[in-house]
């Protein structure tokens, strides 16, 4: 597993356009907060359970990636959920998994705001919002 900063991830995506970007946030987060263009939403967990189904997640990622050898990039809000999901994918036999450090919104600042210190949006990388 690799841990890459958002800008490093963007560079990887440009160098490897076949890499699959999976947004693992809940669907509502992905839709209304925003997401990188082309991201595929496969939630690690959903409301109201907030409990991951690791086996189902791995199956869905494998289906979208076309196999376990494809480069799979995982993005969440802050990089914590994606780290857990990346570890599960590695244990399931995926060979090239990337965790986006700081995720889409980044860490909380002193006022408990996101996107002010780091993250995909902070780095002004491409994103879209529904």
Q: What is the pLDDT of residues 59-68, one digit of tens each?
A: 999 999 999 9
Whose structure tokens read 């590695």?
90
- Cis peptide before 48, with omega less than 30 degrees from 0? yes
Residue 103 Rama label (left phi>0; alpha psi -120 to 50; beta): left
Q: What is the distance between the alpha carbons of residues 63 and 17, in angstroms, rounded to a whole number?
A: 17
> What structural domains and CATH numbers belong to the chain?
2-100 (3.40.250.10)
Q: What is the distance between the alpha carbons of residues 114 and 128, in angstroms, rounded to a whole number?
A: 17
pLDDT, tens digit, 9 for 90 and up, residues 12-57: 999 999 999 999 999 999 999 999 999 999 999 999 999 999 999 9
Q: What is the distance between the alpha carbons of residues 55 and 3, in angstroms, rounded to a whole number?
A: 22
């Amino acid at each position: 597993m690799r841990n890459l900063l958002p800008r490093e991830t963007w560079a990887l995506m440009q160098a490897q356009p076949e890499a699959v970007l999976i947004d693992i946030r809940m669907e509502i987060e992905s839709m209304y907060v925003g997401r990188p263009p082309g991201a595929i939403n496969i939630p690690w967990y959903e409301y109201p359970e907030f409990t991951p189904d690791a086996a189902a997640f791995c199956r869905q990622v494998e289906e979208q990636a076309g196999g376990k050898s494809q480069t799979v990039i995982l993005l969440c809000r802050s990089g914590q959920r994606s780290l857990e999901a990346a570890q599960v994918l590695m244990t399931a036999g995926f060979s090239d998994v990337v965790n986006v450090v700081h995720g889409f919104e980044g860490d909380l600042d002193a006022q408990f705001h996101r996107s002010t210190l780091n993250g995909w949006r902070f780095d002004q990388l491409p994103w879209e919002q529904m």
